[in-house]
């Protein structure tokens, strides 16, 4: 019998206990992987933010707008490469429960600022030249089964037209996507002019501006120049990098990272104590067996390796099962959530972190039992009841 067979048989000598331990570890890594995918999806916007892209908001808070005239003034500031503006539409389709992220934008400059969006040349020309056109993200189009050429009534829970209607009739002229899967494609954009000219109130106002500097080294100077331009005005501005804006927005709903860390940490700490205690008890039950192995010539380092390998193998068995189950769950619901939570998927970095934690988990829980077994005196072990 070789060492690998001996380790496997020792691990499953009490099958019920081994299976329960595997299930416990599986649960811990299932939680780790699913929450990791969720956390990654939440932070995808921050991670994909362009280094030279800035966002200018009303300094009071992001729900307040600014005069349209700010747009041309920002475009004239030295260091600004491209600038565009956007308004939150508060969109929904047919029923207010069918919420759609929709933005009224200055189309040509928007596509220049977000150069990572991929649109076919023909669709792009149509989109730029037809006022009632809109462009859909591929995830949103897939969610509703929409395609180019369809007419969609897009309603707003904020805005109304001068005739009292709350729906804008729009034609799908383009569907955009990006080479980077983490770039959100779960929203739609349409022409600001078409939106603004029909508004019943609050015309000639913009929600925020997005601009590029072409060089991250210019960011601070450009941001300061913009905010100085509108200092002491009725609508002062605050300019920050796109990544900082995304992070601040996430913090509006709480420290997601801290919550996930606490949940994962609590699950791991609980299971670590359970598995560690069980491993110590299991080795104590095998004291005579270990003493006999030493009598037969097993060296202390070999005994140490056997016990530690059992622990690591147990951790890998449970962890890989949990990781596989999590991958299946994330894949199964990822498509359905693509419209709300783009980027919700299992990635290689999550898998690598999980495997690393499995090995660490196995070493931590098996180290003390392995040391005790290595130090066991043969006479003491054989005389123990």
Would you say residue 4 has pLDDT above 90? no
Distance (Å, rounded) from C-alpha 305 to C-alpha 302? Answer: 5
Mean pLDDT of 228-245: 91
Tell me, what's the pLDDT at 252? Answer: 62
Would you say residue 246 has pLDDT above 80? no
DSSP codes joined into one string, 337-380? HTTTSTT-S--HHHHHHHHHHHHHHHHHHHHHHHHHHHH--HHH
Of 141-145, 196-200, 345-349, the least confident? 345-349
Mean pLDDT of 182-197: 92
Over residues 100-116, the pLDDT tens digits come to 999 999 999 999 999 99
Over residues 319-338, the pLDDT tens digits come to 999 999 999 988 887 766 66
Which segment, 98-112, 231-245, 277-291, is predicted with the most confidence on average?
98-112
Beta bridge partners of 276: none
Would you say residue 339 has pLDDT above 70? no
Tell me, what's the pLDDT at 137? Answer: 93
Mean pLDDT of 200-224: 94
Mean pLDDT of 44-55: 79
Tell me, what's the pLDDT at 125? Answer: 94
DSSP code of 274? H
Joined together, the tokens standing for residue 22 give 């595997």
Q: Taking all residues of the chain, what is their mean pLDDT, rounded to a whole number?
A: 87
Tell me, what's the pLDDT at 224? Answer: 95
Whole-prediction pTM: 0.70
90 CB burial (10 A radius; 0-12, 13-18, 19+):
middle
């Amino acid at each position: 019998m070789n060492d690998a067979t001996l380790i496997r048989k020792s691990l499953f000598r009490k099958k019920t206990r081994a299976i329960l331990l595997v299930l416990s570890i599986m649960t811990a890594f299932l939680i780790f992987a699913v929450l990791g995918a969720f956390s990654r999806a939440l932070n995808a916007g921050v991670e994909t933010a362009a280094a030279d892209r800035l966002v200018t908001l009303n300094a009071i808070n992001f729900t307040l707008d600014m005069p349209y005239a700010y747009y041309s003034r920002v475009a004239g500031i030295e260091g600004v490469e491209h600038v565009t503006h956007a308004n939150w539409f508060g969109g929904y389709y047919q029923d207010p429960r069918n919420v759609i992220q929709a933005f009224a934008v200055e189309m040509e400059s928007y596509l220049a600022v977000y150069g990572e969006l991929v649109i076919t040349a023909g669709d792009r020309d149509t989109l730029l030249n037809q006022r009632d056109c809109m462009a859909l993200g591929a995830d949103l189009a897939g969610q509703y089964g929409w395609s180019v050429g369809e007419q969609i009534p897009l309603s707003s829970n904020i805005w109304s037209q001068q005739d009292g209607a709350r729906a804008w009739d729009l034609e799908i002229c383009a569907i955009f996507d990006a080479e980077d899967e983490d770039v959100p494609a779960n929203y739609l954009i349409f022409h600001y002019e078409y939106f603004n000219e029909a508004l019943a109130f609050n015309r000639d106002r913009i929600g925020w501006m997005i601009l590029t500097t072409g060089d991250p080294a210019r960011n601070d100077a450009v941001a300061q120049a913009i905010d100085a331009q509108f200092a002491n005005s009725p609508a002062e501005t605050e300019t920050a990098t796109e990544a900082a804006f995304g992070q601040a927005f996430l913090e509006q709903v709480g420290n997601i990272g801290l919550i996930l860390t606490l949940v994962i940490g609590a699950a791991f700490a609980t299971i670590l104590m359970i598995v560690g205690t069980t491993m110590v008890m299991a080795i104590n039950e095998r004291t005579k067996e270990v003493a006999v192995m030493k009598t037969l010539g097993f060296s202390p380092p070999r005994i140490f390796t056997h016990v530690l390998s059992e622990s690591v193998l147990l951790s890998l068995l449970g962890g890989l099962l949990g990781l596989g189950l999590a991958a299946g769950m994330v894949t199964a619901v990822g498509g359905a959530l693509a419209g709300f939570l783009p980027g919700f998927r299992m990635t290689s970095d999550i898998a690598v972190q999980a495997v690393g934690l499995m090995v660490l988990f196995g070493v931590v829980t098996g180290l003390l039992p392995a040391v005790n077994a290595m130090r066991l005196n043969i006479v003491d072990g054989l005389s123990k009841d």
